[in-house]
Chain A
Amino acid sequence: MDILHILLTDSFWAAALRIATPLIFGVLGALICEKAGVLNLGIEGIFAAGAMAGWMAVWLGAGLWGGLLVAAIVGGGFGLMHAILTVPLGLSQHVSGLGITMFATSLSYFIYRTALPQVTSPPRITPFQPLDIPILSDLPFLGPVLFQQTAMTWLALFMVALVWWVLNRTPLGMALRAVGDNPDAVDAQGLSVYGLRMGAIVAGSALMALGGAFLTMSAFDAFFFGMVNGRGWICIALVIFASWRPGKALLGALLFGAFDAFQVRLQTEVGAFVPSQVFLMAPYVLSLVALVIVARRAEYPAALLQPWFKGQR
């Protein structure tokens, strides 16, 4: 009965959506890159860079939205680096992506340490506050779950719709999907394969950085080392779980958020009998199980991981 009780509380669902928010940004970003045919394993580092850059911009006096812009630009910059290495130069997407992750993570820590050499407790900023929408936020259940989230959660949900629209309803999205399936088809129509792919990586990486920025500017109010904690990798798995569809990506992120929120609450109920590590592990294990069930039928973008060079056909 305890378990059922957890699932019925509004705070559980509010937490699930909150935990899912950075994953929504990340999985959309990874999805855009992969739709264009490039795997971006830089995501984990871009999360860290976004978290650091956004937080630091606000700490130095920028507004919250200005901070988000800085995070997106920094993420786009690392994306551009990955794009140059993997698209015109055609280097291994795995190696380049892992390199970006290590570089972006270390650089973020380095800059943080250099800017704040002596602090013992991390300085705090005033983060995004829950949007208290009159009337709607007073609704039973739905009020606390949906209408007391911060603006970033709303931005994430809006991004799901935007990415879906662009991919499925615009000529740009069509070209993007085509370039991830058969770059020759795009080239034959006189469109730029390099331009489309690099643009997708930069845009996707900017989204990933927003996911990182959520951690320091909405979920918490400070930057810690190791705070990304594998969220980027989870997004890579969620893209496959979502079969490269934005709607399913939202579902996957919410599912993971629910697992995570659930394990925290279950811990307080039965924590006396079961070691806490089991609960910490649970969302990852359940994600793997879900992945195994779904991903066997997943249809990969046909040109994913394959470099393309102009004039070779």
Chain B
Amino acid sequence: MTNHLVLSLNNLSKRFGTIVANDAVSIELHRGEVLSLLGENGAGKTTLMNMLFGHYLPDSGTVDVADEAGVMWPLTLGHPQAALAAGIGMVHQHFTLAANLSALDNILLGSESLLSWRQNRHAARAKILGIMDRSGLTAPLDERVGNLSVGERQRVEILKALYHDVRILVLDEPTAVLTPQEADTLFENIGAMTKDGLSVIFISHKLREVLAFSNRIAVLRHGKKVGEIATDTADETAIARLMVGADTPAVPRPAMQPGAPVLALSGVTVKSDNARNSLRAVDLVVHGHEVVGIAGVSGNGQSALAALISGLATPDQGEMSVDGIQITRFNPQNLLKVGIGRIPEDRHHDGVIGAMSVSENLIVERLSDPDIQKNGFLRRDAIRAHAAQLCQDYDIRGPGPEAKARLLSGGNIQKLILARVFECSPRLILANQPTRGLDLGAASEVGRRLLEARHRGAGVLLISEDLDEVLALSDRIIVIHDGQLIEADTKDRAAIGLMMAGENA
């Protein structure tokens, strides 16, 4: 009874226009097993699971699911309700919770007939408390979800799935928003649940946790399954090669003597109604020839820090300077003039103007430059030549320099932003989540460019939630927690993880 098949995906394919998101992918899952679905961004992991859960209808292929007796039945595709009824639950990367309802109501949502005249909250609460007991997952049931922390919201999501008596649980990148310690607790809880017969599909692009936690690993690349390995026989470099298709060159990072201070913040305080968006008496120095990495779980003041250095906000207290020039009350225009280059967090929204062309986006930060305009008129030829040159230098691929920027892929938009920033030879580069959502190739290009700027003598302030990235690129690591900065005097993952959770180890 222990190891029978509970789920089999048979040759599932899905196209979006000309892009093949999944190409004849087959996967099997057994009772009580944790299967990791590993792959880069855009490898087709989430698409595959969305087909399983009925959010997308596959172009071809079938899915069979075991009922409680272990007999396999074909699943009606394209209907979330059918997947739920078959005992499949999914915890999405972006939580599907209503912030205005209590945790309890969110768990109950959709579990009762819409025509019933009242809710049976008592029985439901008793059942949920039982699930909490067995799994070790806890969450305050009567609190509005809007008031819960990210970790608590995720537990509500999982409880919601378990409440529907799922036998198969799909977790889409569950650790992306958690501290390393919270992630470990989650893994422990899931371990307890698999002992009760739950089967888990675990989507991730983090090799480390996949190796630590799953029984079997299936690797996807460009929509195809390229390998399947039992975890205890797995080898990290071999899997990485499967994922990427080639060995990734480690970014060389020669040791360098830090230069004079470039950016200095002293006693900077930002007050906000939202505690997640405030800073408390922060001191920070970034020298030339130096990459300073800000590590932390999202929502601990990173956006406030980025807004300050981009000139989108001014501090309530404290002072800021670049190369000794006071910039405390500068607007973005003046900050560009003193040599700050900005790589914004949301590159689609804040980084480019989607409706304008690539060549126009490349010059928006230097409209007063006489190379670009003369007597108030844009020099079209110069702009076009400039764009052609940068597209070549920075390998910006797409429909061409006159195409609208929104037509570019995420990686190419980031290259466009890099080109715009680096071409001005900035003194300080603010890189906020610069590789989020990029595939490994594009991400290592970003890292290489940042280190190049460091070599040239610029200071780099790298804000990232990806601890591996911070560890790989930074000369110094500073942990941000609850609006405060704490310098980490170690490069030890566990110690930094504890600091990210607010515990001073």
Contact = CB atoms under 8 A, between A and B. Distances in A.
A191 to B, nearest CB: 5
Interface string B91-112: 0101011111100011011111
A188 B117 contact: no
B119 interface: yes
A296 interface: no
Nearest to A179: B98
Nearest to A166: B117
B144 to A, nearest CB: 10
Given A175-B109, A190-B110, A311 B101 contact: no
B98 A188 contact: no
Interface string B111-128: 111111111000000000
Contacts of B117: 170
B56 A178 contact: no
A300 to B, nearest CB: 10
A190 B80 contact: yes
Contacts of B56: 311
B81 A188 contact: no
A311 to B, nearest CB: 6
Among A169, A301, A313, residue most surrounded by chain B Cβ atoms (within 10 Å) = A313
B352 interface: no
A189 B98 contact: no
Nearest to A174: B105
Given A188-B80, A190-B79, A311-B56, A175 B110 contact: yes
A169 B118 contact: yes
B94 A174 contact: no
Contacts of B106: 178, 185
Among B79, B114, B119, residue most surrounded by chain A Cβ atoms (within 10 Å) = B114
A174 B110 CA distance: 9
Given A171-B116, A177-B101, A182 B96 contact: yes
A177 B92 CA distance: 21
Among A169, A174, A184, A311, residue most surrounded by chain B Cβ atoms (within 10 Å) = A174
Given A188-B80, A190-B79, A190-B81, A302 B109 contact: no
A169 B112 CA distance: 12
B116 A170 contact: yes
Nearest to A178: B98
A34 interface: no
Contacts, number: 85
Contacts of A187: 55, 80, 96
B471 interface: no
B119 A174 contact: yes
A186 interface: yes
A181 B95 CA distance: 13
Contacts of B403: none
Give the size category of B's interface with A. Answer: 20 to 34
A171 B90 CA distance: 21
Nearest to B113: A171
A313 to B, nearest CB: 7
B108 A302 contact: no
B118 A313 contact: no
Contacts of A177: 98, 100-101
A155 interface: no
B372 interface: no
B101 A174 contact: yes
Contact of A181 (B81, B94, B100, B115): B100
Give the size category of A's interface with B. Answer: 20 to 34
Contact of B98 (A170, A172, A185, A311): A185
Contact of B84 (A169, A171, A189, A299): A189
Among B96, B98, B111, B115, residue most surrounded by chain A Cβ atoms (within 10 Å) = B98
A171 B97 contact: no
A182 B98 contact: yes
Contacts of A313: 55, 92, 94
A188 to B, nearest CB: 4
Interface in A204-234: none
A171 B108 contact: yes
A189 B119 CA distance: 17
Interface in A274-313: 299, 301-302, 311, 313
Given A170-B116, A171-B116, A171-B119, A186 B109 contact: yes
B123 to A, nearest CB: 13
Contact of B115 (A169, A172, A180, A184): A172
Nearest to A172: B114
Contacts of A172: 114-115
Given A190-B79, A190-B110, A170 B118 contact: yes
Given A187-B80, A188-B90, A189-B84, A170 B119 contact: yes
B53 to A, nearest CB: 8
Contacts of B115: 172
A189 B96 CA distance: 9
B119 A188 contact: no
A182 B99 contact: yes
A302 B100 contact: yes
Nearest to B117: A170
B101 A181 contact: yes
A47 B99 CA distance: 33
A184 B119 contact: no
A191 B112 CA distance: 11
Contacts of B114: 171-172, 175, 191
A313 B110 CA distance: 19
Contacts of B98: 177-178, 181-182, 185-186
A185 B94 CA distance: 10
Nearest to B54: A190
A313 B111 CA distance: 22
Contact of B96 (A169, A170, A180, A185): A185
A177 B119 CA distance: 15
B110 A191 contact: yes
B309 to A, nearest CB: 30
A189 B56 CA distance: 15
A178 B84 contact: no
B92 A188 contact: yes
20 contacts: A171-B111, A171-B112, A171-B116, A174-B105, A177-B101, A178-B106, A181-B99, A181-B100, A181-B101, A182-B98, A185-B98, A185-B109, A186-B98, A187-B80, A188-B90, A189-B109, A190-B84, A191-B109, A299-B100, A313-B94
Q: Which 7 A-B pairs have the closest CB atoms?
A: A189-B110, A190-B81, A178-B98, A188-B96, A171-B112, A181-B98, A190-B80
Given A178-B100, A185-B96, 4 more contacts: A174-B101, A181-B101, A184-B94, A186-B109
Interface of A: 169-172, 174-175, 177-178, 180-182, 184-191, 299, 301-302, 311, 313
